[in-house]
């Protein structure tokens, strides 16, 4: 691929990639070449950590889908193409699946839903799970709610967000238990972003508004710092 801007390289390795309805665990090694639309200060470490979160939490229908999902997230940035050299090995097996994938932003159709509190970009959905970017407008809040069906994992992408009325740092991931009420507030003057993975895919009927005078902080075992 020819480009006037040199490609950037990063590596994603994980031994917890879940594939199929039975969530079989695979070890994967992804070597990415990222082609930019323009020069901009891309934080490769932060990007690699976000992609690691996706690989570890999303439920893929097939191994071939892994590259497509993480490339779709990359296309939210000024990135026009992603080339992936992948080594995918089923855990406790020596069977290897080396493959090369090419993904282009021009082939991706972005879907956006407007909300009272901001908007949601639907990055990718399959039969098992969905990947979304929540964009909370300045001085807006995602109201206190819970889920009765889906499991939800969220990664805080930006600084300045309140969770349960308390500051929460960018790079913090939370895996929400069912029935665990939570609320996000953006008291800043800029848009705040959260990456959200739902298993199964999000349905509006499963977002139940909650009332509680006491908000609980997630258990430490349900949280992880990615940066």
Residue 67, CA atoms < 13 Å, CB-side half-sphere:
24
Q: Which of 216, 220, 226 is nearest to 195 (CA)?
A: 226
Query: Locate tokens 């972003």: which residue?
Result: 193
Query: Locate tokens 């999902």: which residue?
Result: 69
d(CA 87, CA 98): 4
Q: Which of 152, 153, 160 is nearest to 136 (CA)?
A: 160
pLDDT at 93 > cutoff 90 = no
Sign of the torsion angle spanned by Cα atoms 40, 46, 48, 50: negative
* pLDDT tens for each residue of 11-67: 999 999 998 888 888 888 999 999 999 877 778 999 999 999 999 999 999 888 999
d(CA 1, CA 184): 42
* pLDDT tens for each residue of 162-192: 999 999 999 999 999 899 999 999 999 999 9
* Residue 4 pLDDT grade (very low, low, confident, very high; cuts 50, 70, 90): low
b (16+ CB within 10 A) / e for 10-24? eebebeebbbeeeee
Residue 222 burial (10 A CB sphere; 0-12, 13-18, 19+): middle
Residue 49 burial (10 A CB sphere; 0-12, 13-18, 19+): middle
Q: Which domains does the chain have, with CATH numbers?
A: 8-107 (3.30.1130.10), 111-225 (2.60.120.10)
The two three-digit tokens of residue 221, written as one number? 């075992």
pTM for the complete prediction?
A: 0.93
């Amino acid at each position: 691929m020819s480009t006037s801007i040199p490609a950037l390289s990063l590596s994603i390795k994980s031994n917890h990639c879940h594939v199929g309805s039975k969530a079989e665990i695979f070890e994967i090694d992804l070597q990415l070449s990222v082609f930019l639309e323009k020069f901009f200060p891309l934080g490769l470490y932060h990007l690699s950590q976000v992609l690691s979160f996706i690989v570890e939490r999303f439920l893929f229908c097939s191994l071939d889908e892994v590259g497509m999902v993480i490339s779709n997230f990359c296309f939210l940035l000024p990135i026009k193409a992603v080339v992936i050299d992948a080594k995918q090995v089923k855990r406790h097996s020596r069977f290897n699946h080396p493959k090369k994938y090419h993904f282009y932003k021009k082939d991706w159709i972005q879907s956006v839903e407007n909300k009272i509190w901001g908007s949601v970009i639907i990055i990718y959905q399959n039969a098992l799970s969905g990947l979304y970017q929540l964009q909370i407008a300045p001085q807006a809040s995602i109201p206190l709610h819970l889920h009765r069906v889906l499991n939800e994992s969220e990664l805080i992408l930006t600084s300045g967000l309140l969770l349960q009325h308390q500051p929460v740092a960018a790079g913090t991931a939370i895996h929400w238990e069912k029935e665990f009420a939570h609320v996000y507030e953006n008291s800043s003057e800029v848009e705040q972003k959260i990456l959200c993975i739902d298993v199964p895919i999000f349905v509006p009927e499963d977002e139940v508004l909650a009332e509680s005078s006491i908000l609980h902080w997630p258990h430490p075992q349900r949280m992880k710092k990615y940066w």
